[in-house]
């Protein structure tokens, strides 16, 4: 039987191919190359179309409708809505009687069984309270500045406001409400105007809302700067970033660069900043050039300047990368399945550590063979031969495995370092309110607007973590700024901060 030659996926007898004219051979070779390029492009496009929140960094909200429901973890009966069996439940608390505007006593007149007249006292009566809101009316303080004419020279002189009276036409608490509505509740200028008018009977313009926002932004600037110094010195720091559009309304972005909202998270203090860059220089300026603790982040190159011994690479991001590999065909699928098996084993052990059913020492011993196997799989995949310009699914897999090997030590920092989590979920959760704000406002129109967003996110996130009242803090900060006093601090009490930990 004559030998065959494989050309463009077809097998041709050797004599026939040798007899083929050179021009035809050239055409077949060109078409073969073109088919290979098109196959790579189709595979790339299909992978792009199949991207979702499970195999990429896309948020779950981008998955859209019609996505298959997640696979059931067990065959047990689906849970019904509401509290589950064993849940302690929560009841509305009662106000002290001293706080009640009115207390009415109700006594039964006759026995419900025999009808006999009743008398006596009940020392522990059943208490039923109706909570309502009073009619909101603004408290207005008027200052009349009289102007008098001098009998000697005829000049007119108007009285000046006392030093303790602010020149701004809105009090500290009203200004704090504007700031809270604009940040914690993500209301637009027009929504703030409408709400103040409907609920509090306060007439205010959009321009005044903007001026109050800028005043509050300056009022909290010093506490926010102190918060950044605090998180830079934390033992464990979670970092993440998301896009945030910034306009050029005040000349702060003349080149129209795309902005980025960064967040640095610790258990009780979070720091936000909007920058027009996602570079290593920006990361160094925010985190600090001298890292004192452990930075938990994804594998983005902006964090490559941090020593691997001081990094924890997020396994949640890694799981999405491995899922993308597993969903490819051929050798990539085999590689992805092997790596995902070890990832699932890792988190089964980690959940036992979190539940208290596995000691740290036993966990560390169990991780050693798992870590060696995970690295062995990466090394085997990284050694597969690919060309520099190859864009096949396998080439993508090989490059991903090579990059993972470069940060492999940082995958396991959490194993022997208490207080470090294997995921960066804390930073991603902190960014969710900011992402919602961005979607409703389309970013900011100026650098001052970006500063307001970042500073107010810092204030709200930090105070919520410390279970402190945001409105009271903003009121105090506004009062301090108007009276040239020291602003309140965003930092927690030492006794509280020493016992706090971040849970993924």
2-59: pLDDT as tens digits: 566 565 556 656 566 577 777 777 777 777 777 766 776 676 676 666 666 666 565 6
Q: DSSP class of residue 305?
A: T
- Non-local (6+) Cβ contacts of 298 within 8 A are 57, 240, 313, 314, 317, 424
Helix axes 221-232, 447-465, angle to 10 degrees: 60
* Mean pLDDT confidence for 381-391: 81
- The answer to whether 262 touches 275, Cβ cutoff 8 Å, is yes
**pLDDT at res. 47:** 62
- pLDDT, position 487: 93
For position 174, what pLDDT does the model report? 92
Task: Give the model's confidence band at 110: pLDDT under 50 very low, under 70 low, under 90 confident, else very high.
Answer: very high
Cα-to-chain-centroid distance, residue 441: 17
**pLDDT at site 70:** 57
Q: Given a cut of 90, is residue 484 above it in pLDDT?
A: no
CA atoms in the 13 A half-sphere facing the CB of 378: 24
User: What's the confidence (pLDDT) of residue 9?
Assistant: 58
When pLDDT is averaged across residues 370-393 and rounded to a whole number, the result is 85
What tens digit of pLDDT does each residue of 289-347 get?
888 889 999 988 899 999 999 999 999 988 888 888 888 878 888 888 999 999 999 99
The DSSP element (H or E) to which 397 belongs, if any, is helix 393-406
Q: Are 401 and 375 in contact (CB under 8 A)?
A: no
**Measured at the alpha carbon of residue 35, what is the angle toward residues 33 and 41, in degrees to the nearest 5?**
105
Distance CA(336)–CA(393), nearest Å, equals 12
Q: Name the nearest CA neighbour of 217 among 170, 183, 167, 188.
A: 183
Least confident of 154-168, 186-200, 388-402: 388-402
Q: What is the pLDDT of residue 1?
A: 47
pLDDT of 76 reads 61
Residue with tokens 């509050």: 216
> pLDDT grade, residue 218 (50/70/90)?
very high
The contacts of residue 131 (CB under 8 Å, 6+ apart) are: 95
Q: Determine the average pLDDT of the residues in 472-487.
A: 92
Mean of the per-residue pLDDT values of the chain? 85
Of 57-66, 212-221, 318-327, the one with minimum mean pLDDT is 57-66
Backbone phi, then psi, for 479, in 5-degree steps? -65, -40
DSSP label at residue 220: T
For residue 33, how far is the Cα from the chain centroid? 45
Which pLDDT belongs to residue 310? 92
């Amino acid at each position: 039987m004559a030998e065959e030659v494989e050309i463009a996926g077809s097998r041709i007898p050797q004599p026939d191919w040798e007899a083929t004219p050179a021009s035809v051979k050239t055409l077949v070779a060109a078409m073969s190359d073109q088919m290979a390029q098109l196959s790579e492009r189709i595979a790339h496009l299909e992978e792009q179309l199949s991207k979702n929140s499970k195999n990429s960094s896309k948020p779950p909200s981008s998955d859209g409708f019609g996505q298959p429901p997640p696979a059931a973890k067990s065959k047990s009966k689906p849970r019904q809505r509401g509290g589950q069996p064993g849940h302690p439940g929560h009841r509305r608390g009662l106000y002290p009687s001293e706080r009640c505007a009115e207390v009415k006593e109700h006594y039964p007149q006759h026995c419900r069984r025999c009808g006999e007249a009743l008398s006596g006292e009940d020392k522990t009566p059943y208490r039923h309270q109706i909570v309502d809101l009073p009619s909101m009316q603004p408290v207005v303080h008027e200052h009349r500045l009289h102007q008098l004419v001098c009998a000697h020279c005829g000049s007119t002189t108007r009285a000046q406001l006392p030093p303790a009276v602010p020149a701004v036409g809105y009090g500290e608490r009203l200004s704090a409400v504007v700031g809270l509505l604009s940040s914690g509740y993500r209301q637009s200028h027009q929504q703030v105007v409408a709400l103040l008018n409907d609920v509090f009977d306060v007439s205010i313009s959009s321009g005044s809302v903007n001026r109050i926002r800028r005043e509050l932004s300056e009022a909290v600037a010093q506490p926010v700067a102190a918060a950044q110094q605090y998180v830079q010195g934390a033992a464990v720091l979670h970092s993440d970033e998301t896009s945030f559009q910034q306009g050029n309304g005040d000349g702060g972005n003349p080149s129209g660069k795309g902005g980025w909202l960064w967040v640095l998270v610790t258990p009780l203090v979070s720091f936000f900043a909007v920058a027009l860059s996602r570079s290593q220089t920006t990361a160094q300026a925010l985190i600090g050039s001298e890292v004192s603790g452990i930075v938990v982040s994804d594998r983005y190159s902006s964090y490559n300047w941090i020593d691997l011994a001081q990094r924890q690479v997020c396994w949640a991001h890694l799981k999405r990368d491995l899922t993308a590999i597993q969903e490819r065909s051929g050798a990539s699928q085999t590689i992805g399945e092997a790596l995902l098996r070890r990832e699932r084993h890792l988190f089964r052990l980690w959940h036992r550590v979190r539940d208290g059913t596995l000691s740290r020492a036993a966990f560390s011993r169990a991780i050693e063979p798992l870590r060696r196997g995970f690295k062995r799989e990466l090394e085997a995949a990284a050694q597969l031969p690919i060309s520099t310009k190859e864009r096949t699914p396998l080439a993508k897999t090989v490059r991903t495995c090579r990059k993972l090997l470069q940060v492999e030590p940082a995958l396991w920092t959490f194993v022997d370092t208490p207080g470090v989590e294997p995921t960066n979920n804390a930073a991603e959760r902190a960014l969710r309110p900011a992402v919602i704000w961005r979607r409703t406002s389309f970013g900011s129109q100026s650098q001052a607007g970006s500063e307001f967003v970042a500073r107010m996110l810092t204030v709200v996130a930090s105070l919520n973590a410390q279970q402190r009242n945001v409105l009271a803090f903003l009121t105090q900060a506004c009062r301090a700024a108007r009276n040239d006093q020291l602003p309140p601090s965003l930092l927690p009490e030492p006794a509280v901060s020493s016992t706090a930990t971040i849970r993924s």
